Amino acid sequence: MSIFGSAWEFLVDPAHWSGEGGIAARIAQHLWYSVLAVALAAVVAVPLGLWVGHVRRGEAVLVGVVNALRSIPTLGLLTFLVLLLGLGLMPPILALVLLGIPPLLAGTYAGVANVDPKVVDAARAMGMNEWQVLTRVETPNAMPLVLGGLRNATLQIIATATVAAYVNLGGLGRYIFDGLALYQYDRVLVGAILVAALALIVDGLLALAVWVSTPGTGRLHVRRPVSG
């Protein structure tokens, strides 16, 4: 039987979906690592991107940081963090956070920086302070690009969260690393299929969120200040 047939039989067998090491548990672990990494990346990247986009300062530094982080190989970074911090959840989460920051930071900054200057000027003319301009005008108008950055970061993190198995954690990467170690390539294929399916499902949900957040065409109406 080919590895494709063996992988299909593994996937459709209900016995492989239950239990501590079953497919359902591995998916839950993979999602937990991904959600945690995306949340931590957003805590760092979104406020920074909003601030830089609002004040229009530090763009050169921002571009340099984004490009530098994108050039770091995740597996090499994970190996360094393991040597530095030891085994555990912290090294892979930190590696995934650094992977997720660039698209979130770039998307947030671009979203705020590309808001129509006339809208921002009208808000200031109405007496809004800088915090109100950012939160009530710029952020709602920037939301499609912010969510686009979140979408890119989430996909990259879900696809790369398999590295958690490299340091003896769980997740769908367990099938890939264990399959390689035991020369069971049907298990490697199972892991790859499940990661791809999970990424496609999450991408579809985030694409819907981006579509809903786009102003106009009756989906979402962002109030814009009108100067008298």
227 secondary structure, DSSP code: -
- The pLDDT value recorded for residue 210 is 81
Q: Is the pLDDT of residue 85 over 70?
A: yes
- The pLDDT value recorded for residue 56 is 81
Segment 16-65, tens digit of pLDDT: 898 888 999 999 999 999 999 999 999 999 999 999 888 888 778 888 88
Determine the Cα–Cα distance for residues 173 and 157; give it in Å rounded to an integer.
12
What does pLDDT average to over the chain? 87
Average pLDDT score over residue span 162-184: 89
Burial class (CB in 10 A: 0-12, 13-18, 19+), 71: exposed
Q: With contact defined as beta carbons under 8 Å apart, do 163 and 92 qualify?
A: yes
Q: By three-state DSSP, how is residue 23 classified? A: helix
- The pLDDT value recorded for residue 41 is 95
Determine the Cα–Cα distance for residues 116 and 97; give it in Å rounded to an integer.
31
Average pLDDT score over residue span 203-221: 73
Residue type, 209: A
**Contacts with 211 (C-beta within 8 Å, 6 or more apart), sequence order:** 219
Token representation of residue 197 = 């399916």
Token representation of residue 44 = 């760092």
Length, in residues, of the chain:
228
For the chain, percent of residues with pLDDT exceeding 70: 93
- The pLDDT value recorded for residue 227 is 47
Q: With contact defined as beta carbons under 8 Å apart, do 178 and 162 qualify?
A: no
Determine the Cα–Cα distance for residues 176 and 190; give it in Å rounded to an integer.
8
Domain boundaries, the chain: 3-213
| CATH class for the domain made up of 3-213 | mainly alpha
Closest CA relative to residue 111, chosen from 74, 153, 139, 83: 139
Determine the Cα–Cα distance for residues 130 and 221; give it in Å rounded to an integer.
22
The mean-pLDDT minimum among 7-16, 51-60, 141-150, 167-176 falls in 51-60
Average pLDDT score over residue span 207-227: 63
Q: Is the pLDDT of residue 109 over 80?
A: yes
The model's confidence at residue 154, banded by pLDDT at 50, 70 and 90, is very high
**Residue 179's Cα: distance from chain center in Å?**
26
Average pLDDT score over residue span 99-110: 92
**Residue 156's Cα: distance from chain center in Å?**
6
Q: 89 phi and psi, to 5 degrees?
A: -75, -30
The model's confidence at residue 193, banded by pLDDT at 50, 70 and 90, is very high
- The pLDDT value recorded for residue 18 is 86
- The pLDDT value recorded for residue 226 is 47
The mean-pLDDT minimum among 41-45, 64-68, 156-160 falls in 64-68
- Give the other-Cβ count within 10 Å of 178's Cβ: 15
67 vs 94: which has the higher pLDDT: 94
